[in-house]
Amino acid sequence: MENDSQLSQEDKREFRRKRRQRNQIAAYLLLLLIIGLVAAGIVCGVRFYTQYRETAAHQELPDESSVIGDMLGSEPPLEVGQETLSSGPETEPQPTPEELFEEMIEERIAEMSLEDKVAGLFWVTPENITGVNTAVQAGDGTREALERYAVGGIIYYSKNIRSKEQLTEMISNTRQFSRYPLLFGVMEEGGSVNNVAEKGLAEKAASAQEIGQSGDPANAYQAGNAIGAYLSELGFDVDFAPVADLADVERSVMQKRAYGADAATVSPFVVNMIQGLESQGITSCLKHFPGMGSTRDDTHKGLTVLDRTAEEFRAEEFAVFQSAIDAGAEIIMVGHAAAPALTGDNTPCSMSEVVVTDILRNELGFQGVIISDEMNMTAISDYYEADDAAIRALRAGCDMILMPDDFELAYNGVLGAVQSGVISEERINDALRRVYRIKLADQMPEA
């Protein structure tokens, strides 16, 4: 019985020992399982975080400064180098003096009636609008004439001049009577064309031929300066000078009125004369485009045809006008001679769109006022009625009509042409803009 009891005890101890071993093994296995699960969790967490970072990097997330700015209700801070913005309201850019000047001109033109606009394109003698034979004073007749016809310019000749006081008063009164700015002009070239000096109001200047023969362009400047000084004192604005024609044929109609026969010689004299006049506040009017010195015939007496080739015109005459344009010429007069080599027929140059617009305006780039020569010359009046001639010149590109043979007929003809659409009102406005740039030049705003 004792042996049986001992065996039983030993069996029990062995059983407990094996059970402890099994429990230890189970504990180890559980621990390993827990460690494995933790490791797997860590790996998954790392992978998830990595994928999240990669996704976030490819998404357009708001800039940190913008978020802060939104939170604060303000603009994001400027980057280095940017100008600091004003906390006040934004200021619009100020117009330039040139822009203000153009606005002033537009306002003046907008206030004008169509009748006044059309009248403003005519440059006339006082007799043209008053009907008197010889005007030597400006009184009620002049006042009434200007009230009816708001012409753009008045030109005087020697017959209108009696004395310095009389001329000064006539110009002053006429200027006051006009509802719009007026340009007062005279033909004072020197030599035989001295409407003011020949009446004893100033010393006569030498002719262009004599000045050219001196060989010194400075003499042309001195002549322009002297002429400009007494014209300015009398109240004039414009001198219909200098002549830019070339006296390039024997006994040329421009022999004494031209500085010479070739462009290289003549150009500096023309430029100096212009600058001399401008030094005294007098605007020059260059004449007679495209150049009529290659003929012996006078357009005052009938039709004149120039036999120059287009190549000759461009090499010689055009070169003189181009130098004057480059020097700032503001008014150019187009002559009535025909130039078949340029136009293809005997149309007077003043009525040719090819000459006035295609060549002078576009090819030579002249942006100032283009005025016709005197429309009462027989080269025009023997072949065209005054209204037809004025309409043709304006359609060709002239901005102003000088001394029509019959002013009222010419004025009414142009007015009717605008009203019927033959000439557009914009064409009239465009011409007036150029004219008013000269009339209001002293009112240019300062920078």
115 against 57, higher pLDDT: 115
Residue 61 has pLDDT above 70, yes or no: no
Residue 34 has pLDDT above 80, yes or no: no
pLDDT tier at 37 (50, 70, 90 boundaries)? low
**Residue 248: per-residue pLDDT:** 82
Residue 2 has pLDDT above 80, yes or no: no
Residue 160 has pLDDT above 80, yes or no: yes
Neighbour count for residue 367 (Cβ, 10 Å): 10
**Residue 43: per-residue pLDDT:** 54
Q: Say how far apart CA 9 and CA 64 lie, in whole Å.
A: 79
Residue 57 has pLDDT above 50, yes or no: no
Residue 240 has pLDDT above 50, yes or no: yes
Q: What is the mean pLDDT of the chain?
A: 87
Q: Say how far apart CA 306 and CA 258 lie, in whole Å.
A: 17
Print burial letters for 399-409: b (CB count within 10 Å at least 16), e (below 16).
bbbbbbbbbeb
Residue 417 has pLDDT above 80, yes or no: yes
Residue 68 has pLDDT above 60, yes or no: no
Q: What is the mean pLDDT of residues 344-367?
A: 98
377 against 299, higher pLDDT: 377
Structure tokens at 123: 């440059």
Residue 31 has pLDDT above 60, yes or no: no
pLDDT tier at 60 (50, 70, 90 boundaries)? very low
Q: What is the mean pLDDT of residues 152-156?
A: 98
Measured over the CA atoms of residue 110, residue 111, residue 117 and residue 120, the dihedral's sign is negative
Residue 36 has pLDDT above 80, yes or no: no
Lowest mean pLDDT among 75-84, 183-192, 289-298: 75-84
Question: Which helix (H) or strand (E) element contains residue 154?
Answer: strand 153-156
Residue 17 has pLDDT above 70, yes or no: no
**Residue 412: per-residue pLDDT:** 98
Tell me 435's DSSP state.
Answer: H
**Residue 35: per-residue pLDDT:** 65
Instruction: Write the pLDDT tens digit of every residue in 90-117.
Output: 778 889 989 999 999 999 999 999 999 9
Q: What is the mean pLDDT of residues 399-422?
A: 98
Q: What is the mean pLDDT of residues 214-236?
A: 98
Instruction: Write the pLDDT tens digit of every residue in 279-334.
Output: 999 999 999 999 988 887 767 777 899 999 999 999 999 999 999 999 999 999 99
pLDDT tier at 6 (50, 70, 90 boundaries)? very low
Residue 63 has pLDDT above 50, yes or no: no
Q: What is the mean pLDDT of residues 224-239?
A: 98
Complete DSSP assignment for 60-105: -PPPHHHHHHHHHTSPPPPPTTPPPPPSSPPPPPPPPHHHHHHHHH
DSSP strand pairing (283-289 vs 331-334) = parallel
**Beta-ladder partners of 283:** 238
**Residue 253: per-residue pLDDT:** 86
**Residue 300: per-residue pLDDT:** 79
The model's pTM: 0.79
**Residue 44: per-residue pLDDT:** 56
User: Would you state the CATH architecture of domain 97-443?
Assistant: Alpha-Beta Barrel (3.20)
Lowest mean pLDDT among 31-35, 144-148, 373-377: 31-35
Q: Say how far apart CA 389 and CA 405 lie, in whole Å.
A: 10
314 against 52, higher pLDDT: 314
Q: What is the percent of the chain with per-residue pLDDT over 70, rounded to a whole number? A: 80
Question: Which helix (H) or strand (E) element contains residue 369?
Answer: strand 369-372
* Maximum Cα interatomic distance, the chain, rounded to a whole number of Å: 179
Complete DSSP assignment for 304-347: -B----HHHIIIIIHHHHHHHHHTT--EEEEPS-B-HHHHSS--
**Residue 38: per-residue pLDDT:** 57
121 against 41, higher pLDDT: 121
